[in-house]
Amino acid sequence: MVDLFYLARATHDPPTSLYKKLFPAIDEWHDRLLQNPPALTTNNPTQPTVDTNAFVQVIIMLRKTFIQDSVLMMELCACHPIWQHSIFSDPAYFSFKKQVNAIALE
């Protein structure tokens, strides 16, 4: 038997401009890791490791998930100070929020 799991908010990806507002340096780290592949272990503290690569990948994934989930979280905790961040007043976010809300109502 196959179980299906569906999250309406996950069907729509946020605009790239919003990604760049959360953890903006993570893209630079990702590019560095692509140029200098990580080693399994190293005695050199400036040499990236597999752990470094995994951490960067998790942050990249979480920023997407956070932006997607923020639309519905904002309704639950409307007064939270995090909603004062500039990303949530960006016109691209308003457009994204409108699309996610429409999907969530289906």
Tokens 């690569």 sit on residue? 53
pLDDT of residue 32: 83
Distance from chain centroid for Cα 34: 19
User: What tokens were used for 22?
Assistant: 């959360």
C-alpha 64/C-alpha 100 separation (Å) is 13
pLDDT of residue 1: 53
C-alpha 106/C-alpha 72 separation (Å) is 14
The residues spanned by each domain of the chain are 16-105
Mean pLDDT for back-to-back runs of 10 residues, the chain (106 residues): 62 89 89 74 65 89 92 91 94 94 81
pLDDT of residue 5: 58
pLDDT of residue 98: 93
- pTM score of the predicted model: 0.76
